[in-house]
Amino acid sequence: MERTGVDTYASFIGNAHGLYADEKRLDLNRLEEIRKAIPNTFLSLHGGSGVNREDIRRAIDIGINKINVNTEMRSTYRRELEEQLEASGEVAMYKLYPEIIEEVQKVVEGKIDLFGSAGKA
């Protein structure tokens, strides 16, 4: 790792980008091995959407520094947009945005709490 100059490492530990049919569980033992092998490298969890909440908390405790959850935010945005379009028939998108943004914000705030980042700048 030192020779490559990599400052953040992402490894497959049972997760992947995208949506899952069921909740994913992480291989936390493998993550602990990785942390021990590269203790001075930031660890990233790619594909954090749909992963078991307790696994996320434990992964953070082990040393995960960055978690990608964009799929969950985008799918919330899309779902809410589709629901708003169907319910209202509105064609002026800007009129739909407040409720859509509110739902995405709920997801973001939930992740901030889950990741232990609330109140930190």
Q: Where are the alpha helices (DSSP H) in 10-92?
A: 28-37, 53-62, 70-88
Domain boundary among the residues 50, 68, 86 is at: 68
Give residue 19's pLDDT band: very low, low, confident or very high (50, 70, 90). low
Say whether both 43 and 75 belong to one domain: no
Among 49, 41, 83, which residue's Cα sits nearest to residue 68? 49
Tell me the whole-structure pTM to 2 decimals.
0.84
Say whether both 26 and 76 belong to one domain: no
Per-residue pLDDT of 20-70, as tens digits, reads 667 778 999 999 999 999 999 999 998 888 899 999 999 999 999 999 999
Domain range enclosing 108? 70-121
Residue-level pLDDT at 74: 95
Phi then psi dihedrals of residue 43, to 5 deg:
-115, 130
Q: Tokens 């064609």 appear where?
A: 91
Say whether both 15 and 56 belong to one domain: yes
Positions of E strands within 1-121: 8-10, 42-45, 64-67
Quick check: helix, strand or coil at residue 91?
coil
Number of domains in the chain: 2
Quick check: helix, strand or coil at residue 14?
coil
Say whether both 3 and 51 belong to one domain: yes
